[in-house]
Amino acid sequence: MAGRRRTSGTRVVLALCLLLVWLVGCGGRPATDGAKAEVQHLLDRRAAAILGHDEAAYLRTGAQDRFGNLRAVPLADWSYRLTGLRRTGDSAVAEAELRYRVQGYDRAPVSAGRTLTLSLDAAGGWYIESERPAKGSAEQLWDQGEVSVVRGDDSLVLGVGQSGTALRSYAALADRAVPAVSQAWGTDWPRRVVVLVPKSLAGMAGLLGAPASSYRGIAAVTTGETGAPANAPADRIIVNPDAYGVLGDVGRQVVLTHETTHVATRAHTGAATPLWLSEGYADWVGYLGSGRSPSQAAPELWRAVTEGRVPKALPSDADFGFSGDAGRLARAYESGWMACRMIADRWGEVGLVEFYRAVGAHERRAGAVEDALKDVLGTSLEEFTGEWREYLRAQLG
């Protein structure tokens, strides 16, 4: 019994200790409601200074660590919501949710976790020493340096460490991509894109909150929530300038058109959509009008087919993983593209779009492709796979 009482007491002490740590942090004291209100007011003033382009007001809130970086970014909204405060003497650490909206592009705010270090000044008021992404949160582009902005007809390009000439070239590519995607997919999407161009692969990885090794060799990715409602924040096309820079003119256009296709199809891409379809369709739109033959656009798959290694099944989602096997990844993308190309050839471009939308309309993966194949294309998965394998032999053999 004594041992049990001692264990129970230990648990009580531990629980109290954890509660105090949650409230104040190690070695600190509880953050009073008054201190929280003061810090929230400080964050409100900082947000107003950013929106108002008021450098003097911004400096009165603390260090000038982001103001210059943000100067060119067209912001419609910017606000902080204090979510936690740990105080130790005359310093504190604040956790906050940043919500911002880019003018003309975001229909709803983008949310990002932020950590701010604070100190008390001589008059007893709080000021901000620094601001950084919260643990587990990705960087924002202005965390990486001063943001330059180029506006295209249908695009907004934001870059760090990039020349105006380079950013204008991205805008030109995006402006060609938007109408091309609308012609293939339809016009039921915003028909505008936001392109982020960091200085390097490391910058891209920071924006994605992932290791750089995960995206080495990947020219660009698109961020956004699948099946997102119409009032969601705009997707961001994030470029890897290291990989993008080695592409030729056609390759660069294909990549931007591919990523723009993801922006257009986002609302109709959900849990039921396999990656071979979403990536294959984006590649199909990307290669339209490029003049690339199947063997030129699908060299890894061409090599496999000519060697007698015709895939037995459509690629799985796992085949699209950035596992370091570049050949496997390339064959997955090329296989999806050839499947979509076959649908467009045999059932028409309208049939391909209807098939994509029908698959995405399902709530779950099971049966989605099979039902859409039957209802839209009048075939079965087994028959479709067999036809696709023959199509590979005919086009690549």
What percentage of residues in the chain have a pLDDT greater than 90? 84
Q: Among the listed ranges 7-21, 208-222, 295-309, 381-395, which one has the minimum average pLDDT value?
A: 7-21
Residue that wins the pLDDT comparison between 230 and 156: 156
Q: Going by C-beta distance under 8 Å and a sequence separation of 6 or more, which residues neighbour residue 156?
A: 74, 102, 104, 105, 149, 150, 192, 193, 194, 195
Does residue 108 register a pLDDT over 90? yes
Q: Summarize pLDDT for 201-220 with one digit per residue, the tens.
A: 999 999 999 999 888 889 99
What are the DSSP calls for 284-296, one per residue? HHHHTTS---HHH
Residue that wins the pLDDT comparison between 72 and 27: 72
Residue 214, pLDDT score: 85
Q: Answer whether 0.75 is exceeded by the pTM.
A: yes
Does residue 111 register a pLDDT over 60? yes
Helix, strand, or coil (residue 249): helix
Arithmetic mean of pLDDT over the chain: 90
The residues spanned by each domain of the chain are 18-137, 146-263, 269-397
Contact 269, 281 (CB under 8 A): no
- CATH architecture of the domain covering 18-137: Roll (3.10)
Average pLDDT on 341-351 reads 98
d(Cα 266, Cα 227) in Å, to the nearest integer?
6
Helix, strand, or coil (residue 102): strand
Q: Among the listed ranges 93-107, 175-189, 205-219, 368-382, which one has the minimum average pLDDT value?
A: 205-219
Place of tokens 């629980």: 15
Does residue 29 register a pLDDT over 90? no
Does residue 188 register a pLDDT over 50? yes
- CATH architecture of the domain covering 146-263: 3-Layer(aba) Sandwich (3.40)
Residue 229, pLDDT score: 66
DSSP state of 29: B
